[in-house]
Structure 1
């Protein structure tokens, strides 16, 4: 049929419009649950640039999917024939990887659609492809848009991807969206929003820096100005702002302080220090000065030096990201502090993208580089899709199968409502195949022995009482509210694992265990900044994860195994009394309270009013704190973690509590 010339422009326009849309055919199958939920509350900025490159990660069907699920369950369950009968990574791939026909089908599909295969996991369960946005849209019949959420712009598929008939039954998931993991390290804040400044090492040639006496006797302050007078009395937190070394404000613990506070000396005195074991630490970007910094840290704290026999870097340790350089420094120095004679493998991903950190994890597991993997990072679970989780779950199932424990920190913003506007948890920590590590605050006695005075679940609220600029009391007190705290809560997607008993929760619940994380009771690290070494205080569940990974390595030493004891999570729910120290609500009669008088009258400010918001908090500690940079006075609380709270037994801030040194490693070793 000849088309009249007057209709040609309309036909050309229609053809161009159809060509720009993803192909929709009756021969394709939709893969559900592959659009991240966060897009519903994000700003859609429109179509992504079709010429940009984007990576697609595909999860493949196991040749024995039901057998894999059963094996992972049995290997974690005492009394089954497979309990702790670990495989080699090669045998795992042979038994449970995808069939060769599946790998061939994906290669054919990629070539036909202009996509390049960039990675194939050695377990044969995950493959990644890369191509232009336009090619990916066409291959999977899906539009890809830019979405903005929390200041970050991400490319995300608008609808569920579709796969061709050649891949049905072979490919179980397709992850297209951009996804970047975030580090879980935080610095103590001078509550005007400024982090505490690092201190040059030269300030203290004797290696003594920050005050370890974080919690002091009650104090009273009075301030007048602006037509008001206020008096506040209660516990005091932090060293005086005019103090120098060894009492720099506010406070910070060195290695000896942590050993004493958590009663770790009996463990070390028994010769248990990680000898013969290897800890893997996975970070993004890395720090090119990490070995030099860690060795300065080790010299100051009396630890063995890191050298070519006990320290290895895998990947390009180029640095270039200040946040992740601090994370890397914290992870290496404090894994080394807890297990000083364990070897450390630092596996560095080139970026913090899902693809790069995922394949760093794959490499560590496939090569069985250690018996425990420490990960101090994560992302919001609602930002993931089923395919991203499926890929990560596959490699963590492999880790369990080959004897490796994979630990993830749970994040630093409690229930995450303050960040997202709704409750969420951190992934991969929320996976039932990971061990989720939460956080605590630690108070030491102000004695020579420095034993534990008390501990709380980590969570800080702040209220300004006196303006440091004017010296006048805030009238009324300035309620700044929740700052940060240990992540926890219930997964939005995972059902309750059979091994997670005693939580009284309907789904996979976080965390499983906890350790020191509060930056206001944080630890010292040594880091090179602009060419010079500095000491600073740091915290976050990024601290708890490498510390727990260190004691897990020691438990493996006690069990006399270099293959591994499998995942920690499933073993923590059946521990004997005394092996884990329960973290329960803590109260004090000296919580901060005050009296404020102005032209309208006199008002009593109760400790609960000043500590708000308290939500479900059942007990807390509050103290007067003067900010070093602002000179303002504050009421700083401990144990106030958004809507999360500690209680006797398992809770959503600290899990079962903190490891009790020698008792803990002995109990774990006995589970071998």
Structure 2
């Protein structure tokens, strides 16, 4: 194959990163030499409020908390209330999670083990991690190359293993990011490779061709019928208005036969207790040092840069499980007919409150931080593996259950009473959480976080005793 398949769409990883801290993502001033000296560099924080940076006054303050360097698995397990059960032996043992991406990092397992050792987590036992790859890999120019996917793959494996250290992981490396992804999806379903499948990639919007949607929808239908749960990241460009589109969710997350995982910005204190968790919509306002005083380039909060995908589908009608939970103001935003709304559930995704990963780059293993709904999806897949360990039968397609269990099973993600700002390490910009596009974060269901995030043991027990089987 030398080109993209007609009528199909290129899938892209749903990852996001903080700008390079060496230049702090600074926009160059029109002046050759700044008139005002930038403050000395600070550092990113291991917990909210650990370090601050000096910036032009915002909300009456000139000292603003720096963003989170990254969380490690134990911190997120504690935040989502699963650390105690994992320590007690409910680790996802006996459950297999499949992870699908294009290509395959040659150091995936060794990186995951080195990462686990770094953070005091259990490494893979023999046979706990397996791979199936579809070579020879191709379409690398169109798909941004193998190296462009390695961070995604590493994140997916380490996030699932971090949340469910006893679960088996079967990595599926597609031949490419186009039709190869469809082949990988079909392989997992035809061979029932796993009961839980994490997919951290997607398309921009839903305008990708009816033949491609029909093909993937048929795969998702068979998966649901066979008790396989498909989890997809909802996207990292919000409702795609930033890309020049009308508000829209991304496919495949908008398919009513998959579980769409949205994103949040999660802030933890020194003891790993939750300070707040709000919808992931992040804006940045760059600081201009070219004049007699440092000033913001635009009125706060500045420009929206990324956030959790979500919105109302123009392709799929409202599925029965969303009736009575999703408000009409969202399901009917495109007209009188009620339509599918994304996402269904959510977890941490903001790279400014991101997740540490360990990856070998150019022969050198190192620790870095990453975010995106590519983080949220494997986090939820790992939690679902923990929830599955003591069930009599697999969860399978989760949405009918997720919309039927009590609201107390979720931590409702809300807007904050006042804006929460953060500063860049190099004082190049001030950021604001939960601002920017046309989505909302509100009480109950919303199109940024769905029903919310898992509420610890309450969520796990609700899924354990739920009687539904698709």
Query: For residue 345 of structure 2, what is the aligned residue in structure 1?
Result: 513
Higher mean displacement: 639-648 or 326-335: 639-648
Alignment counterpart, residue 544 of structure 1, candidates 369, 372, 376 = 376
- 1:387 and 2:217 are equivalent in the alignment: no
Distance in 2, Cα, partners of 1:407 & 1:221:
40
Answer whether contact 2:348 2:354 (CA < 8 A) is retained: yes
Query: For residue 418 of structure 1, what is the aligned residue in structure 2?
Result: 242
Pairing of 1:143-542 with structure 2 (within 5 A): 176-189=6-19, 194=25, 211-215=45-49, 221=55, 233=61, 236-238=64-66, 251-316=69-134, 320-353=145-178, 355-446=179-270, 449-467=271-289, 472-474=293-295, 477=298, 480-501=302-323, 502-504=325-327, 505=331, 506-542=338-374
Answer whether contact 2:52 2:66 (CA < 8 A) is retained: no
Larger radius of gyration: 1
Query: For residue 38 of structure 2, what is the aligned residue in structure 1?
Result: none
Answer whether contact 2:73 2:162 (CA < 8 A) is retained: yes
Answer whether contact 1:182 1:352 (CA < 8 A) is retained: yes
Matched pairs, number = 432
Answer whether contact 1:408 1:428 (CA < 8 A) is retained: yes
Answer whether contact 1:221 1:231 (CA < 8 A) is retained: no
Answer whether contact 1:262 1:451 (CA < 8 A) is retained: no
- 1:626 and 2:450 are equivalent in the alignment: no
Query: For residue 152 of structure 1, what is the aligned residue in structure 2?
Result: none
Answer whether contact 2:286 2:296 (CA < 8 A) is retained: no
Query: For residue 115 of structure 1, what is the aligned residue in structure 2?
Result: none
| TM-score, normalised relative to structure 2 | 0.85
Q: 1:276 to 1:256 in 2, by over 3 A?
A: same
Answer whether contact 2:247 2:438 (CA < 8 A) is retained: no
Comparing both chains, which one has the higher relative contact order based on Cα–Cα distances under 8 Å and sequence gaps of 6 or more? Answer: 2
Answer whether contact 1:262 1:452 (CA < 8 A) is retained: no
Q: 1:178 to 1:404 in 2, by over 3 A?
A: closer
How far is the alpha carbon of 1:384 from its aligned partner?
A: 1.5
Answer whether contact 2:13 2:374 (CA < 8 A) is retained: yes
Alignment counterpart, residue 444 of structure 2, candidates 649, 652, 664 = 649
How far is the alpha carbon of 1:557 from its aligned partner?
A: 0.8
- Where does structure 2 lack aligned partners over 5 or more consecutive residues? 27-42, 332-337
Q: 1:214 to 1:661 in 2, by over 3 A?
A: same
How far is the alpha carbon of 1:177 from its aligned partner?
A: 2.3
More strand by share: 1
SS class of match (1:356): helix
Higher mean displacement: 430-439 or 316-325: 316-325
**RMSD of the alignment, in Å?**
2.6
- Where does structure 1 lack aligned partners over 5 or more consecutive residues? 1-51, 57-175, 196-208, 224-229, 240-249, 589-619
Distance in 2, Cα, partners of 1:273 & 1:235:
42
| TM-score, normalised relative to structure 1 | 0.61
Distance in 2, Cα, partners of 1:222 & 1:54:
50
